[in-house]
């Protein structure tokens, strides 16, 4: 807005002529949100980054001592759980990108084509989205725990129950199914909204030119959906990295399924917080923001060229 | 009783007046909805660390007895125990309840060191002679002052059903050492039962097994030194603990990592398992099912392994109360905590009929049932009392490091050496205190 070029003296003058009241209003509209944004988002973020280089129990400010890179050294070289967590977050990300998100897109495409019963599918897939991840976790926990519904159906008692959450070889995939249950609906909804905005004339034209369904999707629909695609990629990335609620509902802070979000909480909450938790938070922050910035930059550069 | 009434008046001589003045002022200002307290009474708040039915009934029994005895009004706030524990730092730094439920030992000392608890040495001057020395030690901060009043304790021991042992023809008193214990486990296994029920999904449950095995094999002093970092996790003696533990694995349920403590308890409750190492707090769950089940429940000390140490150590965590430093009415909190620790306060909790073993040594134990008396007997055999692994060592080590390490071990017991090396490495990497 402030990038007014020199060739626009009129608009500049008009702006200068705006009343005092307008300027106050404008100042408030821009200033207040900025103030709160800095206060509530950037200050804590910067404080977290600084604290990750200290030792502190989180209570008396006078107890803060400088730690240099000790917390990071501890995480990278002495904490095996960190690598387990990285692995699990990577699986989460991979699963969402390769399975959950494409499924959501596919569903949206099918529903948009108004296949039979599409309204029913739409609501059925959408329902999980209105539930928070914590509630999703509670529901699935009720289904899959040793004395839960599924083991009941299988006629198994707690002494010989199928171990969905306790078998560390498969539990990440059990959690992935649970998380996808919600994620697919979420992506479907976003994509559906985008698809509704695609001009049907484009498809008709493609059909007349003899394009197959797949070619139409890939060469006509997908490119017109670029803004939505960007949002979906970013959301999928953020959802996979910030994962916490569902795992916390099922495992608490125990190491049943280490992921970065849990490690942050485990080291900060409870008695005697450790700034190792802050260091985990910074690592998580860098991991999330890095690829997203890189991706967005690349996308915007393409837009410009 | 009369003694206490007087102390209520003297210890709160000025505060209630100021409080009433403030309440009056607020009333004038239009906040007329504020209920004014009358007479020499004051109002204070109590924070409970439980939302379960039984303990809640018990605490409410204490609170109403206190209200009746003191004329004060108490606001009762309850929080689920895990959430309470996770938020305690924030809670104590914010606007905490005046008196709240907490645990003795390291966990209390940590917050006392941070200046978040009120020194209640004067309360101990008055009721201290009602407690054994070990309780006083557990209630004392690193600065030598008292910050805690014990409510109850529970021993970690081998729990089982008398009827199931009888079916095997085993006398509970006959299980004294490791071989006796193994014999019992074999007996259970031959009947197709789980010998030793275990659950470690929460990450803390199996710490009790580590504690007791270490104390039995290497003795109290070694265990305490290991917890304090004066001994090494990679020591052959620590390794020995896992050698014994591994002998128990074939008798355990397969889904240790899928069950929390209450899952393991269910195995015992449903007669699917023969024995379980756990704290005795779950008597109420048996009672809930039926009086018969409760009467069937029994506890003995964990068997002897090394005759040198016999059965001289026990994990017996003490629960009780603290007064928050940032509470609005610390004097009221102190008054409540004094009542809670007294024989009368304890009796009020016992009168609710919820099973509890009072920490007060003058308690009339004639009303205790057989299971409670057996808990006392188990306790009396021990010379040394430990709290529990997550109360005896640094909080940034117990939960985030030891818990996952034991879970990892359950997953693959043969990886013990690597796990112990990693444990020691992570201890060494801890920030200085």
CATH fold of B156-315+373-428, please?
D-Maltodextrin-Binding Protein; domain 2 (3.40.190)
Which pLDDT does position A35 carry in this prediction? 94
Question: Which range, of A51-55, A73-77, B19-23, B320-324, averages the lowest pLDDT?
Answer: B19-23
Contact list, B204 vs chain A (CB under 8 Å)? 254
- Residue B294: alpha-carbon gap to chain centroid: 20
Which pLDDT does position A272 carry in this prediction? 62
Which of A71, A148, A158 is the best residue to mutate to test the B interface, defined by the most B CB atoms within 10 Å of its own CB? Answer: A158
Contact list, B49 vs chain A (CB under 8 Å)? none
Contact list, B431 vs chain A (CB under 8 Å)? 55, 67, 70-71, 274-276
Q: Which of B251, B139, A150 is nearest to A158 (CA)?
A: A150
Q: Which residue has the higher pLDDT, B27 or B202?
A: B202
d(CA B304, CA B154): 20
Within an 8 Å CB–CB cutoff, is residue B232 touching chain A? no
Class of domain A70-304: mainly alpha
Q: In the structure, what pLDDT confidence band is assigned to residue B10 with cuts at 50, 70 and 90?
A: very low
B18 has pLDDT over 50: no
Angle between helices A276-304 and A226-241 (to 10 degrees): 170
Tens of pLDDT along B219-274? Answer: 999 999 999 999 999 999 999 999 999 999 999 999 999 999 989 999 999 999 99
Per-residue DSSP letters for B102-160? EE-THHHHHHHHTT-B---HHHHHHHGGGS-HHHHHHTB-TTS-B--EEEEE--EEEEE
Total length of chain A: 305
Which pLDDT does position A221 carry in this prediction? 86
**Would you put residue B388 in left (φ > 0), alpha (ψ -120 to 50) or beta?**
left
Q: Which residue has the tokens 């100042």?
A: A27
Task: Tell which CATH architecture fits domain B2-154+317-362.
Answer: 3-Layer(aba) Sandwich (3.40)
Q: In the structure, what pLDDT confidence band is assigned to residue A214 with cuts at 50, 70 and 90?
A: confident
d(CA A278, CA A263): 10
Tens of pLDDT along A70-93? Answer: 999 999 998 888 999 999 999 999
Question: Which range, of A264-278, B291-305, B397-411, averages the lowest pLDDT?
Answer: A264-278
In chain B, the percentage of residues whose pLDDT exceeds 70 is: 91
Q: Residue B6, Cβ neighbours under 10 Å: how many?
A: 9
Closest CA–CA distance from residue A278 to any residue of chain B (Å):
13
Which pLDDT does position A254 carry in this prediction? 80
CB neighbour burial string for B344-370, b if at least 16 within 10 angstroms, e if fewer: bbbbbbbebebbbbbbbeebeeeebee
d(CA B205, CA A252): 13
Most confident of A10-19, A58-67, B119-128: B119-128
The interface residues of chain A toward chain B in range 261-300, judged by CB-CB distance below 8 A, are: 263, 266-267, 269-276
Answer for the pair A287, A241: CB distance below 8 angstroms, yes or no. yes
Which pLDDT does position A305 carry in this prediction? 64
Size of interface A-B (CB pairs under 8 A): 130
Q: Which of A89, A157, A253 is nearest to B266 (CA)?
A: A157
Q: In the structure, what pLDDT confidence band is assigned to residue A197 with cuts at 50, 70 and 90?
A: confident
How far, in Å, are A256, A295, B204 from residue B410 at the CA level?
12, 42, 13
Cα–Cα–Cα angle for A56, A61, A66, nearest 5°? 45
Contact list, A69 vs chain B (CB under 8 Å)? none
d(CA B185, CA B177): 13
Tens of pLDDT along A95-154? Answer: 999 999 999 999 998 888 888 888 888 888 888 888 888 899 999 999 999 989 999 999
Answer for the pair A162, A92: CB distance below 8 angstroms, yes or no. no
Q: Which residue has the tokens 């995480």?
A: A75
Tens of pLDDT along B83-131? Answer: 898 888 889 988 999 999 999 988 898 899 889 999 999 999 999 999 9
Contact list, A272 vs chain B (CB under 8 Å)? 89, 110, 394-396
d(CA B229, CA B226): 5
B37 has pLDDT over 50: no
Q: In the structure, what pLDDT confidence band is assigned to residue B36 with cuts at 50, 70 and 90?
A: very low
Which pLDDT does position B14 carry in this prediction? 35
Within an 8 Å CB–CB cutoff, is residue A66 touching chain B? no
A3 has pLDDT over 80: no
Answer for the pair B46, B100: CB distance below 8 angstroms, yes or no. yes
Which pLDDT does position A14 carry in this prediction? 52
Which of B199, B404, B432 is the best residue to mutate to test the A interface, defined by the most A CB atoms within 10 Å of its own CB? Answer: B404
Q: Indicate the SS3 state at residue B78.
A: strand
Give the start-to-end residue ranges of the domains of chain A.
Answer: 70-304
Q: Which residue has the higher pLDDT, B367 or B68?
A: B68
Within an 8 Å CB–CB cutoff, is residue B259 touching chain A? yes
The interface residues of chain A toward chain B in range 167-196, judged by CB-CB distance below 8 A, are: 167-168
Which of B109, B392, B422, B429 is the best residue to mutate to test the A interface, defined by the most A CB atoms within 10 Å of its own CB? Answer: B429
**What is the DSSP secondary structure assignment for residue A4, as one 8-state letter?**
-
Q: Which residue has the higher pLDDT, A21 or B415?
A: B415
Mean pLDDT score of chain A? 87
Structure tokens that stand for B65 in this block: 């007895």
Which pLDDT does position B34 carry in this prediction? 35
Which pLDDT does position A261 carry in this prediction? 93
Q: What is the mean pLDDT of residues A244-268?
A: 89
Most confident of A42-51, A217-226, B17-26: A42-51
A17 has pLDDT over 90: no
d(CA B92, CA A215): 63
Total length of chain B: 433
Q: Indicate the SS3 state at residue A179.
A: helix
Looking at this predicted complex, what is its ipTM?
Answer: 0.82
Tens of pLDDT along B152-193? Answer: 989 999 999 999 999 999 998 899 999 999 999 999 999 999
Q: CATH 3.40.190.10 residue ranges in chain B?
A: 2-154+317-362, 156-315+373-428
How far, in Å, are A276, A281, B397, B398 from residue B429 at the CA level?
11, 19, 10, 14
Which pLDDT does position A271 carry in this prediction? 67
A212 has pLDDT over 60: yes
Mean pLDDT score of chain B? 87
Q: In the structure, what pLDDT confidence band is assigned to residue B353 with cuts at 50, 70 and 90?
A: confident
Most confident of A23-27, A94-98, B24-28: A94-98
Q: What is the mean pLDDT of residues B337-347?
A: 93
Answer for the pair B91, B45: CB distance below 8 angstroms, yes or no. no
């Amino acid at each position: 807005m402030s990038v007014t070029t020199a060739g626009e003296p009129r608009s500049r003058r008009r702006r200068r002529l705006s009343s005092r009241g307008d300027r106050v209003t404008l100042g408030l509209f821009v200033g207040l949100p900025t103030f709160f944004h800095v206060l509530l988002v950037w200050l804590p973020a910067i404080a977290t980054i600084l604290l990750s280089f200290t030792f502190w129990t989180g209570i008396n400010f006078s107890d803060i001592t400088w730690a240099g890179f000790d917390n990071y050294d501890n995480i990278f070289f002495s904490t095996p759980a960190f690598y387990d967590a990285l692995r699990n977050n990577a699986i989460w990300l991979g699963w969402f990108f390769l399975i959950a998100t494409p499924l959501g897109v596919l569903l949206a495409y099918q529903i948009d084509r108004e296949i039979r019963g599409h309204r029913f599918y739409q609501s059925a897939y959408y329902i999980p989205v209105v539930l928070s991840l914590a509630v999703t976790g509670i529901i699935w926990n009720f289904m899959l725990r040793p004395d839960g519904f599924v083991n009941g159906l299988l006629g198994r008692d707690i002494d010989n129950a199928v171990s969905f959450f306790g078998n560390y070889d498969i539990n990440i995939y059990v959690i992935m199914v649970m998380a996808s249950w919600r994620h697919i609906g979420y992506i479907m909804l976003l994509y559906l909204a985008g698809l509704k905005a695609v001009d049907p004339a484009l498809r008709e034209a493609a059909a007349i030119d003899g394009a197959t369904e797949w070619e139409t999707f890939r060469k006509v629909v997908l490119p017109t959906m670029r803004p939505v695609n960007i949002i979906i990629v970013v959301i999928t990335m953020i959802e996979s990295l910030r994962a916490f609620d569902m795992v916390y509902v099922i495992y608490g802070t125990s190491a049943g399924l280490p992921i970065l979000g849990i490690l942050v909480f485990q080291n900060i909450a409870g008695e005697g917080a450790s700034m190792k938790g802050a260091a985990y938070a910074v690592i998580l922050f860098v991991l999330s923001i890095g690829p997203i910035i890189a991706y967005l930059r690349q996308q915007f550069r393409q837009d410009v060229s | 009783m009369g003694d206490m009434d007087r102390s209520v008046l003297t210890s709160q001589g000025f505060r209630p007046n100021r409080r009433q003045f403030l309440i009056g002022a607020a009333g004038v200002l239009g906040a007329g909805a504020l209920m004014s307290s009358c007479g020499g009474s004051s109002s204070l708040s109590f924070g409970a660390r439980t939302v379960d039915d039984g303990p809640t009934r018990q605490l409410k029994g204490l609170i109403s007895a206190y209200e009746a005895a003191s004329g004060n009004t108490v606001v009762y706030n309850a929080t689920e125990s895990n959430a309470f524990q996770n938020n305690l730092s924030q809670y104590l730094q914010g606007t905490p309840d005046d008196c709240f439920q907490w645990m003795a030992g390291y966990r209390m000392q940590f917050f006392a060191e941070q200046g978040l608890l009120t020194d209640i040495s004067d309360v101990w001057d008055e009721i201290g002679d009602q407690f054994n020395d070990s309780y006083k030690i557990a209630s004392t901060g690193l600065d030598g002052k008292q910050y805690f009043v014990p409510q109850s304790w529970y021993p970690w021991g081998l729990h089982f059903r008398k009827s199931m042992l009888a079916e095997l023809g085993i006398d509970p008193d006959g299980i004294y050492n490791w071989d006796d214990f193994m014999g019992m486990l074999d007996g259970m296994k031959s009947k197709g039962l789980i010998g030793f029920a275990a659950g470690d999904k929460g990450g803390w449950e199996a710490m009790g097994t580590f504690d007791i095995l270490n104390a039995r094999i290497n003795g109290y002093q070694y265990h305490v030194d290991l917890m304090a970092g004066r001994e090494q996790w990679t020591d052959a003696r620590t390794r020995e603990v896992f050698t014994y533990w591994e002998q128990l694995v074939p008798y355990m349920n397969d889904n240790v990592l899928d069950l929390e403590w209450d899952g393991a308890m269910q195995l015992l409750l449903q007669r699917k398992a023969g024995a379980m190492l756990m704290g005795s707090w779950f008597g109420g769950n048996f009672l809930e099912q039926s009086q018969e089940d409760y009467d069937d429940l029994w506890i003995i000390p964990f068997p002897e392994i090394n005759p040198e140490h016999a059965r001289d150590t026990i994990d017996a965590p003490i629960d009780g109360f603290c007064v928050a430093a940032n509470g609005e009415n610390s004097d009221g909190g102190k008054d409540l905590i004094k009542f809670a620790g007294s024989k009368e306060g304890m009796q009020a909790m016992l009168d609710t009929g919820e099973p509890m073993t009072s920490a007060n040594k003058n308690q009339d134990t004639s009303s205790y049932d057989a299971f409670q008396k057996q808990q006392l007997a188990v306790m009396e055999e021990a010379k040394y009392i430990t709290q529990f692994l997550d109360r005896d060592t640094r909080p940034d080590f117990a939960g985030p490091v030891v818990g996952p390490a034991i879970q990892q071990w359950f997953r693959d017991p043969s990886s013990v050496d690597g796990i112990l090396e990693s444990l020691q490495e992570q201890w060494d990497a801890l920030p200085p205190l």
